[in-house]
Amino acid sequence: MKTGRWVIFWITAFSLVFVTFWFGYNRKPAEVKAEQRVVPVEVQKVSTDSIRNKIELTGWMEANEVVDIKSKVSGRIESLRAVIAAGSGMISDNFVPVEEGLVVSKGQQLAVIDHDMYLAQVASAKAAVKAAEVELADAEREKKRIVTLYEAGSVTEQNKDKAVTAAELAAARLDSAKATLELAQVDLRESTITSPIDGTVTKKYIDQGNLVRPGDPIVRVADMKTIKIIVAVAEKHADEVAVGTPAEIRVDALPGKVFDAQVYSVHPALDQQTHTIQVEIRLKNQELLLKPGMFARVMLITQRKDNIVVIPRDVMLGGKIDRYYVYVVENGIARKRFVAPGITEAAKCEITDGLKPGEMLVINGMNFLADGIGVEVVRIEDIK
């Protein structure tokens, strides 16, 4: 009986010691166990950089100015050749055919329509003016003679009135002849087709030798030394865009090339159906690398900050329920640091509060960290 009691006693004692040891081990603070772990991490030295807030859009390139040059007179196109400029004047005997791609200047001759016919009409109108002037001179002399005789009592008042009326009709016929001459001279000028702008011929509607009527297009000239792009900006960004807002333009046809531009105008009203606002961007194109019709990728730079703390976006944790935070390394220990993010650009993010330049930011391995855990730094980089 005594033996059985001793067995029960020792079993109970052993159980108490085991339970005490087990709970004692598992009741150690999490920080003590965390400090016993060492996690390898990569860090970067926090530094300052520049960052931009941007809106990415797409659009199509257009020539700044496009003119369809049309005939104002009828007739046959005698010449569809451009006069080549030399210095400040034109060489009348030096021509090139008008074709797509020809660069022309304002006032440069491009075509001639039935020139001989309109020259003849001008000559005829000049002759009519000359005849009307002679007729008027005769009528004025006759009127003067009759008036003198009337005042002397040698002719009747009726004869005087007839002479005055004849002189007035001769003057009216002279005015009509001069008007006809002016119209003939206008037609003569309009029979020589010139370019109203500096630009490039982008379309030829008709060939030399064909007949044209008033209003028929002959060529299209586009000013491509300035390119414009019309983009639609969402309503939520409407207040961020203004005249002069910088823009960067990229085209698939010229990979790696970036063209600087700026907002030229902002439409005063939003489109009611799309809830977007129309924005026009213009950029210089002196080398004519950009062509109307090209697909353009537009980046509007609505805000820029310099000399601010910038970190990689993917190192920030939290943010859905809790505040955003990162880990920094201090004396081999990971420290949780709450941060306030600002604007973002691609993979970069501005930090307005919570970090200072020079601190060691964990950029790899942060998902295995807790505040106070020991770390082993395996790589250090400077943020560029």
Q: What is the pLDDT of residue 227?
A: 93
- Helices then strands, each counted (H, E), the chain: 4, 21
Long-range Cβ contacts of 355-359 (<8 Å, 24+ apart): 355/46, 355/309, 355/311, 355/326, 355/328, 356/46, 356/309, 357/46, 357/47, 357/48, 357/309, 358/45, 358/46, 358/47, 359/45, 359/46, 359/328
pLDDT grade for 238, boundaries at 50, 70 and 90 = confident
Please report the pLDDT score of residue 31 as a whole number.
Answer: 45
Q: Could you write out the DSSP letters of every residue in 107-137?
A: T-EEEEESHHHHHHHHHHHHHHHHHHHHHHH
Closest CA to 103 of 283, 286, 358: 286
Helix, strand, coil % (nearest 5) of the chain? Answer: 30, 45, 25
- Distance from the Cα of residue 76 to its chain's centroid: 41
The more confidently predicted of residues 1 and 222 is: 222
Please give the DSSP secondary-structure letter assigned to residue 317: B
pLDDT at residue 165 is higher than 90? yes
**23: amino acid identity, one letter:** F
The 3-state DSSP class for residue 144 equals helix
Distance of CA 129 to the CA centre of its chain: 55
Q: Tell me what pLDDT residue 34 has.
A: 44
CA 301 centroid distance within chain: 13
- Could you tell me which of 310, 375, 343 has the C-alpha nearest to residue 49? 310
Residue 80 has a CB neighbour count (10 Å cut-off) of 22
**Rounded CA gap, 65 and 224, in Å?**
8
Tokens of 363: 């950029």
Find the Cα–Cα–Cα–Cα dihedral 130, 134, 139, 140, rounded to 10°. Answer: 90
Taking the C-alpha atoms of residue 217 and residue 202, their distance in angstroms, rounded to an integer, is 13
Question: What's the chain's Rg over C-alpha atoms?
Answer: 45
Which residues have a Cβ under 8 Å from the Cβ of 64 and sit 6 or more positions away?
223, 224, 225, 226, 227, 228, 282
Record the tokens describing residue 310, joined without a space: 């910038």
User: Rounded distance, CA 171 to CA 143, Å?
Assistant: 12
Q: Which domains does the chain have, with CATH numbers?
A: 34-51+306-382 (2.40.420.20), 72-111+195-215 (no CATH), 117-190 (1.10.287), 226-305 (2.40.30.170)
Q: Is pLDDT of 47 > 60? A: yes
Look at residue 382 in the predicted model and tell me its pLDDT.
58
Structure letter (DSSP) for residue 256? T
pLDDT digits (tens, 9 = 90+) for 340-350: 998 888 888 88
**43 bridge partner residues:** 362, 380
pLDDT at residue 94 in the model? 78
Other beta carbons within 10 Å of 62? 18
Residues 224 and 104: beta-carbon distance below 8 Å: no
Predicted confidence (pLDDT) per residue in 172-230, tens digit? 999 999 999 999 999 999 999 999 999 999 999 999 999 999 999 999 999 999 999 99
Over 50: is that where the pLDDT of 32 sits?
no
Per residue in 290-314, pLDDT tens?
A: 999 999 999 999 888 889 899 998 9
Which of 77, 87, 107, 92 is CA-nearest to residue 221? 107
pLDDT tens digits for range 245-280: 999 999 998 998 999 999 999 999 998 888 999 999
9 forms beta bridges with none
pLDDT of residue 121: 94
Strands 374-382 and 38-45, by their bridges, are parallel
Stated pTM of the model: 0.62
Cα separation, 352 vs 310, whole angstroms: 9
